[in-house]
Amino acid sequence: MASLITCPHCGTRPKEEFSIRGAAAPRRPSPAARDEVWHRYVYVRDNPKGRYEEYWHHAAGCRRWLVVDRDNLTHEVFGVTDATDHLTAEAGE
């Protein structure tokens, strides 16, 4: 992972083309959600050791936000999906 990322749109590309935002798990709450929920969304992180979903931006490529499903201990990558598709799939589950 640290070296190459297989973008679902552009194929395998070097890390240099991407920028990384952070955890992909937090979901932006509804505007009506409680303060506590908003606080958790912005500030609290599960931060697991191991398998982890992370937002990467193919900034020097297709400009899509991607969800990289990876292991943050071994740096193995299990899959890369377009962030929008990822949300759609999640909603469908």
Partner 1 sequence: MRYSAYSIFKQAFSGNRLWTPAWREPQPKTHYDVIIIGGGGHGLSTAYYLAKEFGITNVAVLEKGYIGSGNVGRNTTIIRSNYLLEGNNPFYELSLQLWEGLEKDFNYNAMVSQRGIVTLFHSDSQRDDYARRGNGMRMHGVDAELLDREQVRRMMPYLNFDHARFPILGGLYQKRGGTVRHDAVAWGYARGADQRGVDVIQHCEVTGIRRENGVVVGVETTKGFIGCSKLALAAAGNTTTVGRMADLDLPIETHVLQAFVSEGLKPVIDHVITYGAGHFYISQSDKGGLVFGAGLDFYSSYAQRGNLQTVEHTMEEGVTMIPGLSRAKVLRAWAGVMDMSMDGSPIIDRTPIDNLYLNCGWCYGGFKATPASGFCFAHLIARNEPHHVARFMRLDRFERGYMIDEAGKGPQPNLH
Partner 2 sequence: MTSYRLDAGGAINRAQALTFTFDGQSFKGLDGDTVASALLANDQMLMARSFKYHRPRGVVTAGSSEPNALLTIGSGLRAEPNARATVTELYDGLVTTSQNRWPSLKTDIGAVNGLLSPFLGAGFYYKTFMWPASFWEKLYEPLIRRAAGLGKLVLQPDPDRYEKCWAHCDLLVIGAGPAGLMAALVAGRSGARVILADESFTLGGSLLSENVAIGETPASEFAKRTIEELASLPNVTLMPRTTVFGWYDDMVFGAVERVQKHVASPSPDLPMERLWRIVAKRAILASGAEERPLVFGGNDKPGVMTAGAVRSYLNRYGVAVGSRLAIFTNGGSGYRTAADLTARGIKVTAIIDARQQAPDLGPDGVRVIRNGAVVATKGRHRLESLIAERAGFQEVIDCDALAMSGGWSPIVHLMCQRGAKPIWSEEKQAFMAPNVGGAFVAAGGAHGADTIYACLRDGAAKAAAMMGELGFSAYQATLPEVEGEYDPSFAPVWYVPGAKDKAFVDFQNDVHVGDLGIAQREGFRHIEHTKRYTTSGMATDQGKLGNVNTAGIVAGMRGVSPAEIGTTTFRPFYTPVSFGALAGAARGEHAAPVRTSPLHGWAKKNGATFVESGLWYRSAWFAKEGEKTWRDSVDREVLNVRANAGLCDVSTLGKIEIFGAGAAEFLNRVYCNGFLKLPVGKARYGLMLREDGIVFDDGTTSRLSEQHYVMTTTTAYAAEVMAHLEFCAQTFWPELDVRFVFVTDEWAQMSLAGPKARIILSRIVEDDISNVAFSFLAVRTVTLRGGLKARLFRISFSGELAYELAVPAGYGEAVADAIMEAGREEAICAYGVEALNVLRIEKGFVTHNELDGRTTADDVGLGKMMAMQKADFIGKRLSTRFGLTAADRLQLVGLKPVEADKEIKAGAHLLKENAKPSLANDQGFVSSACFSPTLGGFIALAMLKSGRERTGEHIVVWDALRGAEVPAEVCQPVFFDPDNTRLHL
Residue numbers at the binding site for partner 2 (CB under 8 A) = 1-4, 14, 19, 21, 28, 31, 35, 38-39, 41-42, 55, 57, 59, 63-65, 74-75, 77, 82-84, 87-88
**Piece in contact with partner 1 (CB under 8 A), picked from 36-44, 57-65, 83-91:** 36-44
Q: Rounded to whole angstroms, how far apart are CA atoms 29 and 61?
A: 29
Q: Which is nearer to partner 1, 50 or 92 (CB)?
A: 50
| 26 neighbors 87 (Cβ within 8 angstroms) | no
Residues linked to residue 65 through DSSP beta bridges, in sequence order:
57
Other CB atoms within 10 Å distance of the CB of residue 51: 13
Q: Give the span between the Cα atoms of 53 and 10, in whole angstroms.
A: 20
- Regarding 40 and contact with partner 1 (CB under 8 A), the answer is yes
The answer to whether 81 contacts partner 1 (rule: CB under 8 A) is no
